[in-house]
Amino acid sequence: MDIIETIKEQIEKNPVLLYMKGSPNAPQCGFSARATQAVMGCGEKFAYVDILQNPEIRTNLPKYANWPTFPQLWVDGELVGGSDIILEMFEKGELQPLIKQAVEKAGA
């Protein structure tokens, strides 16, 4: 399977997916740390991919997503955005229902 197919499959199979540097318990950059805190603050399980351990994804995802930076949050197959957007949505109370709906929909 080529890397774009792998990325598509990851996005399709996970209702909430965070591409980040490191892991939620050990983020490797400040932007990933802040994004993780916001997503975890929504209280739902989510998947993540450590792009530092997956250089092919790190190289190809920005082209696929048309989004140059990490972290990247995908909810229900759609790119939500990066760290600033994630935090802004969390602070406005917009991220929590978006993530909750995606998780409920996937569980149905």
Residue positions forming the annotated binding site? 21, 29, 58, 70, 83-84
CA 39 to chain centre: 9
Q: Is the peptide bond before 62 cis (omega within 30 degrees of 0)?
A: no
Domain assignment present for 13? yes
Task: Give backbone dihedrals phi and psi of 3, rounded to 5 degrees, phi first.
Answer: -65, -35
Across the chain, mean pLDDT equals: 97
pLDDT tens per residue, range 33-86:
999 999 999 999 999 999 999 999 999 999 999 999 999 999 999 999 999 999
Domain assignment present for 103? no
Domain assignment present for 102? no
Domain assignment present for 105? no
Whole-model pTM: value is 0.96
Residue positions forming the annotated binding site for [2Fe-2S] cluster? 29
Q: How many residues does the chain have?
A: 108
pLDDT of residue 108: 60
Q: How far apart are the C-alpha atoms of 19 and 50, rounded to whole Å?
A: 6
